[in-house]
Chains A and B, each alone.
Chain A
Amino acid sequence: MLGGGPEWWGITVLIVGAVSAVLGVIYALMENDLKKLLAYSSIENIGIILLGIGASMLFKAYGMNALASLALMAGLYHILNHTVFKGLLFLSAGSVLHAMHTKNMEKLGGLIKVMPYTSLFFLIGSVSICALPPFNGFVSEWLTYQSLLLGFNVPSITVKIISPLGGAVLALTGALAAACFVKAFGISFLGMPRSKHAEEAKEVSPSMILGMAMLAVLCLLLGIFPGTVSNIIAPASSMINGSYGLPSYEGLILIKETGSGLSPGFVLATMIIVSLAIMFFIYIVGGKKRARYGDSWDCGIPSLTPRMQYTATGFTKPIKLIFKGIYLPRREISVSYIVKPFFVKSIKYKSEITPFFEKYIYEPGVLFIHRLASKIRLLQSGSLHLYLGYILITLIVLLIFGV
């Protein structure tokens, strides 16, 4: 399939990738279960990978082998990155589950104080998966952007329009993913603990920390040495499409068709230098740091409680309302009264989104297969005589047709 084919194959892959990227992250946003959120986000990342591969197929269809090789490399780079950061995120979510016995974000909070290492690694994973510099996700998404923009060189009106639009979809996906992981990290690890468990959680064992640490370091290395990594990937990509000779700089990627370059390591180094410079500047202007510690602003009402914090559900409520065409949200409010309508005994509020794909595609499919299976089960009656009969019939059929 990757070895070429008509134009519409590439377009199909591109569209499937775009739809999968957006829908994956949109469902991830609504998920309050840490591991389910990560699972939905895998759908998104596979969509991003398909954007690269689809672009590669389009170039191949028009015989632009060098560009096809570049786009395929973007896809392969993202596969590699996704392995690393999603592994890291699942390990840290696993650590949270191990320490807390829950994956429900609404019961977490404040973990950064009691589980500092796990928190740091989850943060590194989040920054990587949101494609923020200087970590690895940034490089592969940037390569994907470049491939999609180069799609404008393909002599076909459809491709000229659809590939930059793919880039716009990638931008939307990136912003949605950022919101998703601000929620995942911010609600679970920051603020005040939302349950007794979260208050008393303990950091996981050193062996578990080591596992996460290795992946976190890889996230950074794959980010700041994009040249080295792409030189490793290039042979695989050029085997299918012919060579794409990226310049062999270690920390820099340069697309020779456009003169666009990228060096996350340089960005990181400059950020560190700037931070040190500004600290010095502040020292000159403002003198030594004087700090007082106190409570958060509570509008004058004493004692903030964890229940006053933003919840995971609250955080994504605006997004749920804006994309209500996709989420099809439903809510039920049931009020029971002591004396109607003045004295309320209790109010029950239930809000959920309709899992469109599960409800209208997977469930009917599963139901159909179950029905079919129950029909076929008649064959398996448990009677030995019947089974011997089957063998006899099979033998006769084979003898008639086989000889």
Chain B
Amino acid sequence: MEYFQFLIIIIFAPLVNGIIKKFKANMQGRQGPGIFQPYYDLIRLFKKELVISNISSWIFRVTPYIVFSSTLVATMMVPVITDKVLFGNMADIIALIYILALGRFFMALAGLDAGTAFGGEGSSREMTVAILVEPAMMLSLFTAAISAGSTNLSNIVNSSASLYTPSHILALSAFIVAIIAETGRIPVDNPDTHLELTMIHEGMLLEYSGRHLALMEWAHYIKQMLLFTIAIDIFFPVGIASSTDIASLATSTAIYLLKIVFIAFMMAFIESTRAKMRFFQLPSLLGGAFVLALLSLLSYVIMGK
């Protein structure tokens, strides 16, 4: 039972995106589409015919499967409602980040495959953003790993030794900035735009259609909820079940869903109150995140907690 907790992320990921969109619409004074809209979109895309560019190669056709399966494997490493995961002692946070990087690598290649300027632009920007995000994200995770004495996610969840200390709060702020960049949200990227000159993530997906597009979108929703879940696991693991009887699983599921909705609300709030930044201002935002992560490490070393 506890080994199938990753299914929660796979099933609810589109819903979380729908909820964020609904929150955003409400904050902007709009009605907005229903929270189940992403599911309808996915099903419709799965049924649609594919249009594939003659210029593209097999890379373009394999990429959706690599992106989806790598994201899913990453999901299997993460404790969602209990601290026991399918991957056991192989549930490693560094491995997880690199598995997600595998998906990004192929997505960027697929962007270049169709030989259009937009795809190349998307790939180039995505890789640039990754360069800026990766050190901050890793360093904030390192602080968590060091205080837990392990890079194994189950162990990190179970060691609440350094919760709510200065280093913990600094690492959390760095990690939130990293999540915003990784999920392609404002102020880094605009998830709603298809304007050629501003898009990053959408630019790479421009040539995709039908089931391929559905897989890429679904993988993107899963990655978003996965990152939220990692933030919960590391920074507010309170309430996660350590036994696997039905009652404690039910409570921890309820608590988990509440936390996810809260994070969704925060994301919508940040998106509605900020404007997208110019691309070349990103280094100062993401560099700032790195400095926060560094301060977190320093304060952990100095204060010892």
Query: A residues within 8 Å of B by Cβ?
Result: 109-110, 112-113, 123, 127, 130-133, 138, 141-142, 145-146, 149, 152, 157, 160-161, 164-165, 167-169, 171-172, 174-176, 178-179, 181-183, 185-187, 190-192, 252, 254, 258-263, 266-267, 270-272, 274-275, 278-279, 282, 285-287, 289-299, 304, 306, 308-310, 314-319, 321-322
Instruction: Assess the B69–A296 pair: CB atoms within 8 A.
Output: no
Given known pairs A171-B134, A261-B92, A275-B69, the reply for A182 and B145 (CB within 8 Å) is no
Instruction: Assess the B54–A297 pair: CB atoms within 8 A.
Output: no
Complexed CA–CA distance, A319 and B129 (Å): 9
Instruction: Assess the A161–B109 pair: CB atoms within 8 A.
Output: no
Please, which residue of chain B has its CB at the minimum distance from the CB of A298? B116
Instruction: Assess the A262–B124 pair: CB atoms within 8 A.
Output: no
Residues of A with C-beta under 8 A to B87: 266
Complexed CA–CA distance, A306 and B87 (Å): 45
CB distance from B41 to the nearest CB of A (A): 13
Contact with A along B244-281 (1 / 0, CB 8 A): 00000000000000000000000000000000000110
CB distance from B298 to the nearest CB of A (A): 7
B53 at the interface (CB under 8 A from A): yes
List B residues 127-156 near A (Cβ within 8 Å): 127-128, 130-135, 137-139, 142-143, 145-146, 149-152, 155
Query: B residues within 8 Å of A by Cβ?
Result: 43, 46-59, 65-66, 68-70, 72-73, 76, 87-90, 92, 94-95, 97-99, 101-102, 104-105, 108-109, 111-121, 123-125, 127-128, 130-135, 137-139, 142-143, 145-146, 149-152, 155, 196, 206-207, 210-211, 214-215, 279-280, 283, 290, 293-294, 297-298, 301
Complexed CA–CA distance, A291 and B51 (Å): 6
Residues of B with C-beta under 8 A to A185: 109
Please, which residue of chain A has its CB at the minimum distance from the CB of B122? A310
Instruction: Assess the A259–B68 pair: CB atoms within 8 A.
Output: no
> Can you list 28 contacts pairing A with B, beta carbon distance less than 8 Å?
A149-B145, A161-B297, A164-B297, A168-B135, A171-B135, A174-B98, A174-B134, A175-B101, A175-B130, A179-B127, A179-B130, A182-B105, A182-B112, A183-B127, A186-B113, A260-B92, A260-B152, A261-B88, A261-B152, A270-B73, A285-B43, A293-B52, A297-B114, A308-B116, A310-B123, A319-B131, A322-B128, A322-B132
Complexed CA–CA distance, A152 and B56 (Å): 47
Residues of A with C-beta under 8 A to B115: 109-110, 190-192, 296, 304, 306, 309
Please, which residue of chain B has its CB at the minimum distance from the CB of A290? B49
Instruction: Assess the A132–B124 pair: CB atoms within 8 A.
Output: no
Instruction: Assess the A254–B125 pair: CB atoms within 8 A.
Output: no
Choose from B43, B58, B69, B113 the contact partner of A278 (Cβ within 8 Å).
B69
Instruction: Assess the A291–B52 pair: CB atoms within 8 A.
Output: yes
Choose from B55, B68, B135 the contact partner of A275 (Cβ within 8 Å).
B68
Instruction: Assess the B101–A142 pair: CB atoms within 8 A.
Output: no
CB distance from A327 to the nearest CB of B (A): 14
Choose from B66, B90, B151, B283 the contact partner of A258 (Cβ within 8 Å).
B151
Instruction: Assess the B95–A267 pair: CB atoms within 8 A.
Output: yes
Residues of A with C-beta under 8 A to B298: 161
Choose from B54, B104, B142, B150 the contact partner of A168 (Cβ within 8 Å).
B142
Complexed CA–CA distance, A317 and B121 (Å): 10
Complexed CA–CA distance, A123 and B117 (Å): 22
Residues of A with C-beta under 8 A to B108: 178, 182, 186
Please, which residue of chain A has its CB at the minimum distance from the CB of B43? A285
Residues of B with C-beta under 8 A to A142: 92, 94-95, 98
Residues of A with C-beta under 8 A to B125: 318
Given known pairs A133-B98, A174-B134, A296-B55, the reply for A190 and B112 (CB within 8 Å) is yes
Instruction: Assess the B123–A186 pair: CB atoms within 8 A.
Output: yes
7 cross-chain pairs, A with B, having the tightest CB-CB distances, nearest first: A310-B120, A186-B112, A286-B46, A171-B138, A191-B115, A179-B127, A175-B134
Interface SS majority for chain A: helix
Given known pairs A161-B301, A285-B47, A292-B49, the reply for A187 and B211 (CB within 8 Å) is no
Given known pairs A292-B49, A294-B53, the reply for A271 and B98 (CB within 8 Å) is no
CB distance from A159 to the nearest CB of B (A): 10
Instruction: Assess the A133–B99 pair: CB atoms within 8 A.
Output: yes
Please, which residue of chain A has its CB at the minimum distance from the CB of B49? A290
Residues of B with C-beta under 8 A to A296: 53-56, 114-116, 207
Residues of B with C-beta under 8 A to A182: 105, 108-109, 112, 123, 127
Instruction: Assess the A270–B131 pair: CB atoms within 8 A.
Output: no
Complexed CA–CA distance, A110 and B70 (Å): 26
Residues of B with C-beta under 8 A to A190: 57, 59, 109, 112-113, 115
Residues of A with C-beta under 8 A to B132: 322
Residues of A with C-beta under 8 A to B105: 127, 130, 132, 178, 181-182
Residues of A with C-beta under 8 A to B138: 167-168, 171
Instruction: Assess the B89–A259 pair: CB atoms within 8 A.
Output: yes
Residues of B with C-beta under 8 A to A259: 89, 150, 152, 155
Residues of A with C-beta under 8 A to B149: 258
Given known pairs A133-B102, A187-B112, A191-B113, the reply for A167 and B142 (CB within 8 Å) is yes
Instruction: Assess the B134–A318 pair: CB atoms within 8 A.
Output: no
20 other A-B residue contacts (CB within 8 Å) besides A186-B112, A297-B118, A322-B132: A112-B58, A113-B57, A167-B138, A171-B137, A175-B131, A175-B133, A182-B105, A182-B108, A182-B123, A260-B150, A270-B72, A270-B73, A271-B70, A275-B68, A282-B215, A290-B49, A290-B50, A292-B50, A304-B55, A322-B128
